[in-house]
Structure 1
Amino acid sequence: MAEITFYQVDAFTGNVFGGNPAGVCPLKAELSDDLMQKIAAENNLSETAFIFTREGRLHIRWFTPEAEVDLCGHATLASAHVMFHHEGFTGQILEFQSKSGALRVKNKGDILELDFPVAQYEPCAEPEGLTEALGCKPVEVYAGADYMAVFEKEQDIVDMKPDFASLKKLSLRGVMVTAKGSSCDFISRFFAPNIGINEDPVTGSAHCLLTPYWTEKLNKKLLIARQVSKRGGLLFCTLDYDRVLIAGKCADYLKGTITLAD
């Protein structure tokens, strides 16, 4: 019987049952794509991260219950937390190789800081059906890997009750909605039914697009962001040329063992 150590960590929160739960599997040897996808589906978390060493370098891959993704912020934060606090990594900066390039995570004491690439995006015409699916008309829409819909009022975001079946008809992976915040610099939510996640509790990778947008709008270097899902999350974001620094806390929920038949 093969055994894999499994951690579940709540990312971008200091408290269990908040933030975004991620599965983390530190591997002794890389698994097949099919097996990683089956484990992620069995975990049924928004993402499960798999960490393994190849040619002396640490690699990371992320799977939703339905598909592999090229970048995931909260599961990278959770993975770094596992490496720093449970798997014996003693340095201050951890580097993962990924499909989105080298991703560095800095241990800053009570928080960890992701160093991610800036997401490219352009203004676009509002896609057909977006207003109807969200139940509210945005004032601006941008397109990159996902749509970003900007709203005039914070309450528009908080009160939003999307039609996920309609959102699934849109051409891009997901839709982030955002507005200026009252108790923080900006708020957001993220919907991605196309990859099996109706609403992601906290989406680190979305802040690779949100951060440059709000940095320009607010003319501020350090931005405090809240993702106002039911679980909620707190992120500290800084634009650093073509990189976005995204910092937050993690809380341990469980450690266990996945047992697989040979």
Structure 2
Amino acid sequence: MHPPIIAVFTAPELDFRGNPAAVVRLEKPLEPEEMLAQAKKIGMPATSFLLEDAAGNYRVRWFAPDAEISLCGHGAAAAGIFLARQKQTDTVLLQYSGGEVLVHLDGNRFQMRLDAIPLRGQVAVPAAIKEGLSIPVLEMYQTDNKHVILTDSERSVKEMIPDFDRLRQSEIFGYAVTAKGEAVDFVSRTLVPHVQQLEDQATGSSHALLVPFWAKKLGKNQLVAHQLSPRGGRFFAEMEEDTVVLAGTFAFE
């Protein structure tokens, strides 16, 4: 039996199909190798594995087809949506190795709360990244997750054709390439050249670092963002002190 697949951060009127994740509810713990094998067989960008512990708490782990993911925002949203519908409740708390994610469900809309990921400082741009992106790189920042790369325009983000072979010559794992938006507050694309996927479609973890970055830059706490990936994603976002609140719509695939 195939697991449910839920795409999140959709926007049908914009032809944004969001990011799909499979959700597997476990009856007993599995070894990481077994979860990785299942994720590879399922073949989604992420598979969320849910396990209820003796205290009734739900723990989640995420696997891409080729590796475990430490924090997967869209996989957390999909897992929360699945669990909320199954338990006929509107709010679910998920625990993972790095903290907690709260998911709230309202019809075909959802909201999730993530810890904001702060910038760790500006860094020099490696030649491999500058040449592999082939767009203006204005600034680059390190975080405890992906790097942030600021470029000059929405057009540069949208029309960027990454040279992944060149990008792989830098050891940096991944980056959110971003610019001020034309019709929305900011736009981005998330590139992960060292893994099978290469480009993520609608990335919650990237927005956990992009939202505080743009909130400070634009001087506002409520933002709308588009991820200009091949599938596309729309994010309604809010900063609440050290928490990023992300909202959007979803669809079963």
If the length of structure 1 is used for normalisation, what is the TM-score?
A: 0.90
Asked whether 1:44 is paired with 2:35, we answer no
Map Cα deviations across residues 27-64 of structure 1 (whole Å, 9 max, x no partner).
Answer: 22222111100011112221111011123210110001
Q: CA RMSD in A?
A: 1.6
Letter in 2 for 1:19: G
1:30-179 maps to which residues of 2 (within 5 A)?
Answer: 30-56=29-55, 57-85=57-85, 87=86, 89-121=87-119, 122-144=121-143, 145-179=145-179
Are residues 168 and 44 of structure 1, via their aligned partners in 2, closer, same or farther at CA, if it must alter by over 3 Å?
farther
Letter in 1 for 2:200: D
List 4+ stretches of structure 1 deviating above 4 A: 14-17
Q: Paired residue for 1:257?
A: none
Deviation for aligned residue 1:218: 0.9
- Give SS of 2:177's match: strand
Identity of aligned residues (%): 31
Asked whether 1:9 is paired with 2:10, we answer no
Structure 2 unaligned runs (5+)?
A: none
Map Cα deviations across residues 139-168 of structure 1 (whole Å, 9 max, x no partner).
Answer: 111111222110111100011000112222
Contact 1:64/1:195, CA 8 A, preserved across alignment: no
Letter in 2 for 1:9: I
1:177-188 maps to which residues of 2 (within 5 A)?
Answer: 177-188=177-188
Q: Paired residue for 1:258?
A: none
Are residues 66 and 116 of structure 1, via their aligned partners in 2, closer, same or farther at CA, if it must alter by over 3 Å?
same
Using CA pairs under 8 Å that are at least 6 residues apart, name the structure with larger relative contact order, 1 or 2. Answer: 1
- Give SS of 1:62's match: strand
The count of corresponding residues between Structure 1 and Structure 2 is: 248
Map Cα deviations across residues 154-191 of structure 1 (whole Å, 9 max, x no partner).
Answer: 10001100011222232232121000111111000011
Distance 1:109 1:119 in 2: 29
Distance 1:134 1:17 in 2: 23
Structure 1 unaligned runs (5+)?
A: 254-262
